[in-house]
Amino acid sequence: MSTASASAPAPSSLRERKKRRTRQLLVDTSLELFTERGFGNVTLDELCDSVEVSKRTFFRYFTSKEDVAMAPTQDLWLTFTDVLETADLGPADRPVLLLIQDTLLTALDRTTTDDWSHRVLLSRNLAERTPSMDAHGLHFCDRTTRAALATLHRRLDIPDPADLRPRLAVDMVVAAFHCALATWASATATATGTATNTTPSPDSLSAHTRHAFTALAATPTFPVTPRQDTSPRP
């Protein structure tokens, strides 16, 4: 065997790398164009022309403009479902809420990079002013929740298929992460507004997520006292 043939990458590996590069270029270009010109002011044809791919190629990776614009966060949740499907589920009698939390933290570790964090911020900013992206996100969240529940029921001994606790656990983790993402984005916006060359920190997002999970655990016993003065505040 020659040295050249021995060191050459396998064709399938080369194709996979090219596919990943094309997909990432579509995501980066779409976020750049949508941010600069507005989501509704960029056509799919213009996006494809900018990346120099056909619409047929685009649809191999994404279903719509909304899909490509929300890819950064969706990639995290796709990793979450993969981890839930393949990871060691830990000891018996482990609370399902902790299992789901640890699964999401593992997915964050596998997904987050500085580039990913920047893309997430761009995607969030777009979604806040683009109703169709918000609707797409809700549909994706529902599909992800269903997939996670199907995996939990397949891999765990849950005697009653109608038991609401696994669904509530998934919903609570999703809600906690949304809170963490919002506070992280707000803190990042403040930091980038007051410092130069500041980049979003994926480690900071993990820290915000852990903080949200701690708050979630304390929520059922959070005591409150009615105000004595109930008059409207100025």
Structural domain boundaries in the chain: 12-64, 70-219
Mean pLDDT of 162-178: 97
CATH class for domain 12-64? mainly alpha
Alpha helices in the chain (DSSP H): 3-7, 11-37, 44-51, 55-61, 65-69, 71-86, 96-111, 114-128, 131-155, 165-194, 202-218
Structure confidence at residue 115 as a pLDDT band (50, 70, 90) = confident
Structure confidence at residue 119 as a pLDDT band (50, 70, 90) = very high
pLDDT at 5: 41
Residues 6+ apart with CB under 8 A from 82: 107
User: pTM score, two decimals?
Assistant: 0.85
> 70-219 adopts what CATH topology?
Tetracycline Repressor; domain 2 (1.10.357)
The Cα–Cα gap between 15 and 8 comes to 13
pLDDT digits (tens, 9 = 90+) for 171-224: 999 999 999 999 998 888 766 554 434 566 678 899 999 999 999 999 999 999
